[in-house]
Amino acid sequence: MACGAGRDEEEMHMIKAIVSGHSRGLGAALADELLARGIAVLGLARHANPALAARHPGRLQEAALDLADPAALAAWLDGPALRDWLADAGTALLVNNAGTLQPMGPPALQDPAAVARAVALNVAAPLMLSAALCAAAPASCIRRVLHVSSGAARKPYPGWSVYCATKAALDHHARAVAADDVAGLRICSLAPGVLDTGMQAEIRATSLARFPLRDRFAEMQRSGGLVAPEEAAMHLVDYLLDDGFGAEPVADLRELTG
């Protein structure tokens, strides 16, 4: 996989990125990696990331949004912020990273309100942002959409029915958008592997009644089998900037990096 680092600095200033869930975990690492390459980032999350803003003064813009609230997101998208952000972009990147594992457990243990929130955050928000990006970007702008998917989209896990279903929705959305064959638009739903983030800590803190495979993931952490989010972010951004991005609408980062 070729790296996008060969682009000169002037071209990088024409690239604008939007990263959801940039306040922590993989989202923070992705935003940091993009910013370090000279790409301005608009971060969307409930909470700001002051450390990231301090490391990259003037390059990070943030919008405080609860992406699990479709009405709030729709209201923000109806405003001028996204169109203004993209007004001078030659390439617009959207990284749909924000997501939740909850609710975990078999259906009888799932809070219906938590199911609705998960579907809103994991599915509605990425699809809304994708549609808004395509409409708001200048007509001549190249658009690239990256859904952060999961192996759980492609393999069922007990206790993760909501998470599996919502990530599978992103995979199929990418397949269908790719079938639209829109000029200047590429999309990929990409599984990044098992990362050492707060989500893994959440898994290890879950009861076996809600996630029977908990101990398998705990052993991965003990044996050093988790990938640092910074390492995954580097490879994800390499791929996002690569000429081959979106050749397959559904992919796995581990296969791309060999």
CATH number of the domain bearing residue 29: 3.40.50.720
**Termini Cα distance of the chain:** 9
Please indicate, yes or no, if residue 221 is contained in any of the structural domains.
Answer: no
Strand blocks (E) in the chain: 15-20, 40-45, 60-64, 91-96, 142-148, 185-191, 250-252
Please indicate, yes or no, if residue 2 is contained in any of the structural domains.
Answer: no
Residue 180: CB atoms within 10 A of its CB come to: 9
Task: Identify the residue whose tokens are 């969307």.
Answer: 44
For residue 179, what are the CA distances in angstroms to 25, 131, 171, 188, 249?
32, 15, 13, 12, 9
Please indicate, yes or no, if residue 6 is contained in any of the structural domains.
Answer: no
Question: Dihedral through CA 50, CA 133, CA 46, CA 21, nearest 10?
Answer: -70
Using CA atoms, how far apart are residues 211 and 222, in angstroms rounded to an integer?
18
Q: Which 8-state DSSP code applies to residue 203?
A: H
For 79-124, write each residue's pLDDT tens digit: 999 999 999 999 999 999 999 999 999 999 999 999 999 999 999 9
Using CA atoms, how far apart are residues 63 and 250, in angstroms rounded to an integer?
29
Structure-block tokens of residue 68: 């699990």
One-letter amino acid at 110 equals: Q
Please indicate, yes or no, if residue 66 is contained in any of the structural domains.
Answer: yes
Please indicate, yes or no, if residue 222 is contained in any of the structural domains.
Answer: no
Domain of residue 151: give its range: 12-195+228-251
Residues facing 42 on adjacent strands: 18, 61
Question: Domain tally for the chain?
Answer: 1
* pTM confidence score: 0.91
Exposure string of 226-255, with b = 16+ CB inside 10 Å and e = fewer, is bbebeebbbbbbbbbbeeebbebbbbbbee
Please indicate, yes or no, if residue 22 is contained in any of the structural domains.
Answer: yes
Please indicate, yes or no, if residue 7 is contained in any of the structural domains.
Answer: no
> Going residue by residue through the chain (258 aa), what tens digit of pLDDT does each one get?
434 444 444 445 589 999 999 999 999 999 999 999 999 999 999 999 999 999 999 999 999 999 999 999 999 999 999 999 999 999 999 999 999 999 999 999 999 999 999 999 999 999 999 999 999 999 999 999 999 999 999 999 999 999 999 999 999 999 999 999 999 999 999 999 888 677 878 888 888 989 888 888 888 777 877 789 999 999 999 999 999 999 999 999 989 876
Please indicate, yes or no, if residue 112 is contained in any of the structural domains.
Answer: yes
